[in-house]
Amino acid sequence: MRKSFFYINLFLLLFGANSFSIPNEGVPCCETKADGAIATPSIHKRAFGEADGKKVYEYTLKNCNGMQVKVINYGASISDIITPDRDGTPASVVLGFDTLEEYKGGKNALMGATVGRFANRISDAKFTLDGQEYNLSSYIHGGAAGFDKKFWDIIEVPGENEVALQLTYFSKDGEEGFPGNLNVTVTYTLTNQNELKIDYRATTDKATPLVLTNHTYFNLSGGKDAKTVNTELSILADRYLEAGAQNIPTGRMLDVKGTPMDFSMPQLIGSRIDETGNGGGYDLTYALRNQSGNLALAATAYEPLSGRKMDVYTTEPGLVFYTGNHLHEGITGRGGKSFSKFGAFCLETQHYPDSPNKPTFPNCILRPGETFRSQTIFRFSVKEGNTCYKTEMQNLYAVIESKFHDSESGYYFVELDPAKRETKFGHFREYSWLWALCTMFEAANEVEKVEGITGLADGIFKNMQHYYDPAPPKPGYGEYIVALSRGQRYYDDNQWIGIAALEIYERTGNEIYLDLGKSMYDFMMTAYDSKLGGGLYWREGDFETKNTCSNGPGILVALKLYKATHDKTYLDTALKIYDWTNEKLQTPEGLFFDNIKTKDASIGKAIFSYNTGTMLQSNVYLYEITGEEKYLKRAINMAGASLSYFYESGRFRDDYWFNAVLLRGYQHLLKHHDDLKYIIGFKKCLDHELQENKNEEGLFVSGDSVRNLVSHGGMLEILARFAEIERDYDLKDRDCAAENADKGAQKTSAQ
């Protein structure tokens, strides 16, 4: 019972008990000039001052949406970021100064600066490396004259979809007490998706500690609020570093749960700021959940007055959260305006402080022959108000949890009507088969992406453990709850689990899901043999057919693992299965037949949308991995053929979940082929279902019958993906049911 109520109560907590209306999040479309041309990104340069015989310039990066990022080559500092609010009005969202003298002054607070060679603190300003002790000029931020006080060389990098500045600095051996000649590059890139990417690269000729970060102060209100205590913040971390004197870590990790340091769920910065001690204010390092070194979401900030939202992604293991606790101490910014305590906050992505003296902390030593690489992305968007598909998603999630999730057993039902529940192998199966949970696993991941939360997919994964079957030759998941009625193991079910797991890993960096993806790969490869030249069977022990429904997702599992690990074995497997599937099962139009029989090589000629979906997405991945245009062309061809075959009538031809898999391919293709016709064709079918085939309880029906959990999981994924698409693209002629006033009663059905 606790499991069922957990999901429902969590949802009500997040979205409110009386209404599920949540402001929309989005990036504006690129500006159109008076002559109809689309604005292109640009770089502008102006003189900013001169010091020590060196000229300093301010460079302005501007994207096609009008967002601006300004950088000066003193300290490789961000001097300004200008983004629109929910009304489209641009304003500065970071603190800064008007003059070079202020940036060089003693009260510059590291404003927007690149910090190094070692950001943050080193205890007693010394460390021992390879048996030699090194003494530094200061214990904090790279020394008395760190990278924030250096003049950097700069190169402009223009482009059609993004513009960049590449800043370089040569730090000599012994500078501030650090060993090694160090070549450092910091690249600021502004994309048309309103992303500011910061890429760090460095090499050395002698082992040296290296921690780089950016010290920009954010106030997302754009001048509407002098404080940031009403900004909502979430940080993907369950632990933080205990600190002692001078804020030096002790080496212990503390749990955030129940403390003022807990931002694992969104809360206002000021909600418990007075409980932090030391006069109030945050200045601590979080140990992020993502410790993989891969790019993952680290934090999200939302400012309600302006509607601005900022997502922070990083490859770093730590995040320093600082609330400008000393900004009120006589520091004056642009226009002579004094700063205020808690008037801005920093989210500094980095390795842990005092790492050279803490062997249990992640390694921060760069050695000759190695290249230091790190990336942080600040993605800016706005929450504009309700979106119909997001509202529908929220309602449907609550309905599924209340109707399909059994409060007594904790299991899910696949059918609400007991008369439709199957009997197999002599056992009445009251609860769901594995396939339905696979649909919910992927859907939960998509809901988490839309809402910026975690935990939903974890709950489905825990539920799936009842289906885990460790039987040889490799462990996998069976079709039914093993303790109640052990059944068969289907390769495609396990592949769908692997696909969702690897997507969760890509988003969160949770190694559990990477291991799960690897396990699903190992299980699926027991389905491979040389009959008919290769390919995978679809069900364990059934050697009659090889199906697109097991080969298509098998390719995706292998490709996702290659992207996660760079192990070429996975890519080789993917290409082998890809070539076989195209040869044996592709139609002349570019779609895919269901199966081929091993006995006589005859073709099962049914055509389903999900088979085309997996193969379409495989081509997009292969294009991203190899850069070969042939894969992109094939993907576009498949998209066109599937649009005509599956969606021309304005009605879905097969199950919602089948269509959800094809939608994955369409959405992925949008990254490289900006044509919305596939999405619009799909949308017509979706809107028809929302308006015509949803009952008063919010459940989807076919005729007089309520659809099963597979269908509802598929629809939940579709709605979550359309919530993302609607956030990022202009879907014209919207007729989503949630926008119709006469559908308002549907909102209460999930309460």
Active site residues: 215, 348
Identity of the residue numbered 702: S
Q: State which H helix or E strand residue 267 sits in.
A: strand 267-268
Helix (H, G, I), strand (E, B) or coil at 493: helix
How far apart, in whole angstroms, are the C-alpha atoms of residue 611 and residue 323? 50
Residue 378, number of CB atoms within 10 A of its CB: 27
Pick the closest to residue 60 from 215, 190, 217, 152 (CA basis). Answer: 190
Give the β-pairing of 476-477 and 267-268: unpaired
CB atoms under 10 Å from CB of 193, counted, come to 18
DSSP 411: P
What would the DSSP string read from start to end of 73-98?
Answer: TBTTEEEEEEEE-TTS-EEE-B---S
635 near 669, Cβ under 8 Å? yes
DSSP-assigned letters across all residues of 286-350: EEES--SSS-EEEEEEE-TTT-EEEEEEESSSEEEEE--TTTTTT-B-GGGPBP-TTS-BEEEEE
**Cβ neighbours, 10 Å, residue 337:** 12
Residue type, 347: L
Distance CA 95, CA 102 (A): 12
Q: How far is Cα 532 from Cα 15, in angstroms, rounded to an integer?
A: 53
DSSP labels, 436-472: HHHHHHHHHHHHHHHHT--SHHHHHHHHHGGGEE--S
What b-and-e string marks burial along 351-373, b requiring 16 or more CB atoms within 10 Å of the CB?
bbbbbbbbeebeebbbbeeeebe
197 CB contacts (<8 Å, ≥6 apart)? 187, 188, 189, 190, 191, 375, 376, 377
Report whether 713 contacts 464 (CB < 8 A): no
